[in-house]
Chain A
């Protein structure tokens, strides 16, 4: 697969796959990345995304983006899934209980105001966390 373009569709189809439990990342010239991507003529390999990731960094946002005004406080985290890192909102857990090292599964969320989809994380079952 050779890609010389950046299309919104690349990201949308990536979200579709993530939503269906078939998340992936792209590997080109040894670099792992998430669509959309411009690569010129480099070979692209589609590699399955790890089923679970780990929270590397997190923040509880208390002064919200206006698109999420009703949702504050909410947590945005960076979570690593092997060689790639995703940015997402963490749901299904008390915001205060999100810690570095929390094991999460990726999901796809939709904002209430403009129906745009984005990455979410939910805690993997069985961890000692406080439910919302």
Chain B
């Protein structure tokens, strides 16, 4: 039986929050998570907080104490975690580890990011810093460019079309259309994706996630704490895994395999005692359409080269066998870089039956979140289960 329970979750709307600061956003997410949990802020033993680009966006490093202020206690450990786009997933993983080691009974995990206050060029430069500066930054490889290299290599090796990728964007927009937290609550079609301006061949503007402000938080508690305090927690974290790969793509033996995510998934499944086929629903890191393909293969849902048609074939749509990114994903829900906790918030609600799209997975027992940093040089995978 899983030791870590999700007592409450909260998030801001994802999108543009002009004039608001990261600390305002996080305070909103943190307050709604604590309120939903029924846990007093004074009981929080530790805060693990993911943030990637605070220095660039708000000229603010050392954000953990800032985000802990006002929580209701000064007697807590507060730590900021930076692993590019996987910062949030790693915050969750540290929270789970703190509880399972017995070091903490109550942990607040979260993430926040301000992005839309920067010019596009500044954001492009900030995101490019998640790649290897020497080998990739200097030749001018952008973040979309890096994923474009992966898409090109994948399609060269396995086939697949831009049309198949476009179906992923269409699916995730359709899911976001009924999610009030999402940045894009509008449907698109395949033609929209194919006709959008190209950012880095073969990826176009609608293959890419947007630039997003937002924050998310979750209160994790030990089972013992929940029992002592009569807390109701519908969902537990049964498995937590992390993995690492080379930062530079050029050092990888096969750029179509995301080894960091494979390792993270293996560890998380192992801990939860499940296999890929046991997973009913997943929130995966679709910063680009090709990223969802690579995620589904790394998670073991598909063999290498076979996930590219999953959305087009209706296997991962809301009415499919295993819905993926019912929240709208990073693609349409939005992607404030420290996005991993946002995935946890959405999946918890989906499994608890409190998400507007929960009817699509009414019988789901097991869900997975997959959060990736950079070109999946870091990855965190979590297995969530309905707690019986």
List A residues 40-82 near B (Cβ within 8 Å). 56-69, 71, 74, 76-78
Q: Which residue of A lies closest to B150 (CB)?
A: A57
For residue A28, CB closer than 8 A to chain B, the reply is no
Could you list 12 further interchain pairs (A-B, Cβ under 8 angstroms) beyond the known A65-B137, A78-B149, A86-B250? A34-B135, A57-B149, A59-B152, A59-B202, A61-B140, A63-B124, A63-B144, A63-B199, A65-B141, A66-B122, A78-B153, A87-B136
User: Number of residues in B with C-beta < 8 Å to the partner?
Assistant: 35
A100 touches B156 (CB 8 A): yes
A63 touches B200 (CB 8 A): yes
Main SS at interface, chain A: strand
A59 touches B124 (CB 8 A): no
Residues on the A chain within 8 Å of B156, using CB: 57, 100
For residue A132, CB closer than 8 A to chain B, the reply is no
Q: Which residue of A lies closest to B253 (CB)?
A: A85
For residue A111, CB closer than 8 A to chain B, the reply is yes
User: Number of residues in A with C-beta < 8 Å to the partner?
Assistant: 37
For residue A36, CB closer than 8 A to chain B, the reply is yes
Residues on the A chain within 8 Å of B142, using CB: 61, 63-65
What does the 1/0 interface line of B243-275 toward A look like (CB < 8 Å)?
Answer: 000001111000100000000000000000000
Complex: A61 Cα to B202 Cα, angstroms:
10
With A61-B200, A86-B250 in contact, is A66–B121 under 8 Å at CB? Answer: yes
Complex: A39 Cα to B208 Cα, angstroms:
38
B249 touches A87 (CB 8 A): yes
Q: Which residue of B lies closest to A117 (CB)?
A: B138
Could you list 5 examples of A-B contacts with CB < 8 Å?
Answer: A34-B251, A86-B250, A89-B140, A116-B138, A119-B139
With A61-B145, A66-B125 in contact, is A85–B140 under 8 Å at CB? Answer: no
B149 touches A74 (CB 8 A): no
B139 touches A78 (CB 8 A): no
Q: Which residue of A lies closest to B202 (CB)?
A: A59
| Partner of A74 from B122, B136, B140, B202 at Cβ < 8 Å | B140
Residues on the A chain within 8 Å of B138, using CB: 111, 116-118
| Partner of B148 from A36, A56, A59, A85 at Cβ < 8 Å | A59
For residue B134, CB closer than 8 A to chain A, the reply is yes
Complex: A88 Cα to B145 Cα, angstroms:
12
For residue B128, CB closer than 8 A to chain A, the reply is yes
Q: Which residue of A lies closest to B121 (CB)?
A: A66
| Partner of B153 from A33, A56, A86, A118 at Cβ < 8 Å | A56
Main SS at interface, chain B: helix
With A66-B121, A85-B250 in contact, is A59–B139 under 8 Å at CB? Answer: no
Residues on the A chain within 8 Å of B72, using CB: none
CB distance from A88 to the nearest CB of B (A): 5
Residues of A within 8 A of B (CB): 11, 33-34, 36, 56-69, 71, 74, 76-78, 84-89, 100, 109, 111, 116-120
- With most chain B CB atoms within 10 A of its CB, the pick from A34, A69, A86, A118 is A118
CB distance from B205 to the nearest CB of A (A): 9
Q: Which residue of A lies closest to B199 (CB)?
A: A63
B153 touches A62 (CB 8 A): no
B125 touches A65 (CB 8 A): yes
Residues on the B chain within 8 Å of A89, using CB: 139-140
Q: Which residue of B lies closest to A88 (CB)?
A: B139
A87 touches B141 (CB 8 A): yes
With A56-B153, A57-B156, A78-B149 in contact, is A62–B199 under 8 Å at CB? Answer: yes
Q: Which residue of A lies closest to B136 (CB)?
A: A87
B140 touches A57 (CB 8 A): no
Residues on the B chain within 8 Å of A119, using CB: 135, 139
A76 touches B139 (CB 8 A): yes
CB distance from A56 to the nearest CB of B (A): 7
For residue B74, CB closer than 8 A to chain A, the reply is no
Complex: A68 Cα to B142 Cα, angstroms:
10
Residues on the B chain within 8 Å of A33, using CB: 251
With A60-B200, A66-B124 in contact, is A11–B250 under 8 Å at CB? Answer: no
Complex: A56 Cα to B149 Cα, angstroms:
9
For residue B201, CB closer than 8 A to chain A, the reply is yes
CB distance from A68 to the nearest CB of B (A): 4
Q: Which residue of B lies closest to A35 (CB)?
A: B134
